Amino acid sequence: MSKDLVQQHRFSNGLTLIAEPMPGVRSAAFSFLVPAGSVYEPAELGGGATMLAEWIMRGAGDLDSHELIGALDDLGVTHAENASATHTSVSAATLGENLVPALALFADVMRRPLLDEEEIEPIRALALQALQSLEDDPGSKVVLELRRRYFPDPWGRPSSGSPESVSAVTAEDLRDFHRRLFRPNGAILGVAGAIDWPALRDAVHELFGDWPEQADPTITLGARGPTRDHLHKDTQQIQIALAYPSVTIDHPQYYHARAVTAILGGYASARLFTEVREKRGLCYSVYSSYEGLKHQAAVICHAGTSTERAQETLDVTLAELKRLGQTGVDADELDMMRAGLKSSLIMAQESSMSRSAALAVDWYFLGRVRSLEEIRGALDALTPEDVSAFAAVQPIDEATIVTLGPKALDMPS
């Protein structure tokens, strides 16, 4: 989409509306980011934001839980709610003609949820079940524990909380969280698809314009966890996760970072997959991914392997990370990376839901919206020489490494 199509309006209470018409589609979608994520929770009440994201959908305005779901179904709305480190997000998609009625329902969800006491225990049970399922997924758990150690508290704190904290959260704790943190100032509403901009802007003003501002909360920065750690768990495999520093999304070399991450382990013929899994048969799963906060970013790598092959898997993985910086990348690798990122980008642009999320996320990280042409141009401008030079200075030796399984591994100093 062209940046010329993007419309933006900031209301007097601090809510920002970003919208982009998508010619040729009949659907419309929105992504609402409210700065009410897990970093604002007291540590002893971890998981509260996630529980609240579920609770606000169980009745709002004049509608109880059953009536609200029925009203959304009548409009053909698909929706999802989530709490991340920074935001509670609500996203929804429907036909363009039903967008404003759907927004009216979600205005009640965000501003006037019922927060019925009878709903809290079923929500708690769901949160505890999710934590138990994490115990049965050691690959996901080791990456979660890696984030806890790599990012300083509270930025590495898992939004799922712990069994102890979820069990301790009360209904009044969550109501207080909603009163203090659900606010228009700092909130972003991204809308994409079959929309009429003037009508949308007026409707959002009608629904959210009188939403009162709240004071922005402060975040007390804590310490990072240990840079080398092992979590004992009686499993048949050992999970290995590591993270090393990268550049943030607003950095001029952001696309260099994404290229390096993809070439390392972003697709089936990437270096880690080829060298660690295919050639040596050391592990059943290996990948790398980029993870960015507004002020800090990391390249995260994960491998799952047998106990007998775990030490070699760790050693070879670290060697491959360093080898990329020593040998650089070639034109074929860069072209393959470029094709993969462009393909996923173009497919995302064809979905009103994906595009609405991209609008909101871009605005949060950059204060503007990137066009498809801008991203394509940035990817096309990458050269093997530039990406190789970027890879050569990656701080691999600063990596945080966490393993999970029946025995600890020998870690690099």
The DSSP result for 247-266, as a single string, is: --TTSTTHHHHHHHHHHHHS
CA dihedral 293, 298, 303, 309 (to 10 degrees): -150
Q: How far apart are CA 38 and CA 94, in angstroms?
A: 29
Q: Does the pLDDT of residue 391 top 90, yes or no?
A: yes
Convert the pLDDT of each residue in 289-310 to its tens digit: 999 999 999 999 999 999 999 9
Q: What is the pLDDT of residue 4?
A: 66
CB-based contact 135:235 (threshold 8 Å): no
C-alpha to C-alpha distances, 48 to 3, 187, 291, nearest whole angstrom: 37, 19, 23
- Per residue in 91-115, pLDDT (tens digit) is 999 999 999 999 999 999 999 999 9
CA nearest 235: which of 46, 17, 404?
404
Q: Answer whether 195's CB lies under 8 Å from 165's CB.
A: no
Q: Where are the alpha helices (DSSP H) in 97-211?
A: 99-111, 120-135, 138-150, 163-168, 171-181, 197-208
Q: What's at 81, amino acid-wise?
A: E
Nearest to 253 by CA among 128, 168, 378, 68: 378
Mean pLDDT of all residues belonging to the chain:
94
H or E segment to which residue 90 belongs: strand 88-95
CB-count exposure of residue 75 (10 Å: 0-12, 13-18, 19+): middle
- C-alpha span between 295 and 111 (Å, rounded): 29
Measured in Å, how far apart are the chain's first and last C-alpha atoms?
Answer: 48
- Provide the token pair at 44: 């002893």
Give the model's pLDDT for residue 372.
Answer: 86
Percent of the chain residues past pLDDT 90, beyond the cut: 84
d(CA 252, CA 334): 18
Alpha-carbon span 239 to 231, nearest angstrom: 10
**Token code pair at residue 133:** 């399922």
**Which residues 6+ apart lie within 8 Å of 127 measured at CB?**
47, 50, 51, 54, 160, 161, 166
- Output the CA angle 15-46-41, nearest 5 degrees: 40
Contact call for residues 209 and 55 (beta carbons, < 8 A): no
Which range has the worst mean pLDDT, 61-70, 144-153, 272-281, 344-353?
344-353
Q: Is the dihedral of CA 41, 154, 359, 192 positive or negative?
A: negative
Decide which of 67 and 373 is more confident. 67
The pLDDT of residue 3: 54
Q: Tens digits of per-residue pLDDT, 332-349? A: 999 998 888 888 877 777
How confident is the model at residue 18, as a pLDDT?
98
Does the pLDDT of residue 350 top 80, yes or no? Answer: no
Res. 131: pLDDT tops 90: yes
For residue range 30-77, what is the model confidence (pLDDT) as tens digits?
999 999 999 999 888 999 999 999 999 999 999 999 999 999 999 999
Is 305:240 a contact under the CB 8 Å cutoff?
A: yes
Among candidate residues 159, 188, 171, the one with its CA nearest the CA of residue 32:
188
> How buried is residue 163: exposed, middle or buried, by Cβ count under 10 Å (0-12/13-18/19+)?
middle
Which burial class, exposed, middle or buried, applies to 66 when counting CB atoms under 10 A from its CB (0-12, 13-18, 19+)? Answer: exposed
Report which residue type is found at 348: A
State pTM to two decimals: 0.93
The pLDDT of residue 370 is 92
Q: How far is 331 from 324, CA to CA, in rounded Å?
A: 14
List Cβ neighbours of 79 (8 Å cut-off, separation of 6 or more). 57, 72, 90, 91, 92, 93
Does residue 2 have a pLDDT over 80? no
Contact 189, 44 (CB under 8 A): no
227-243 pLDDT, tens digit per residue, is: 999 999 999 899 999 99
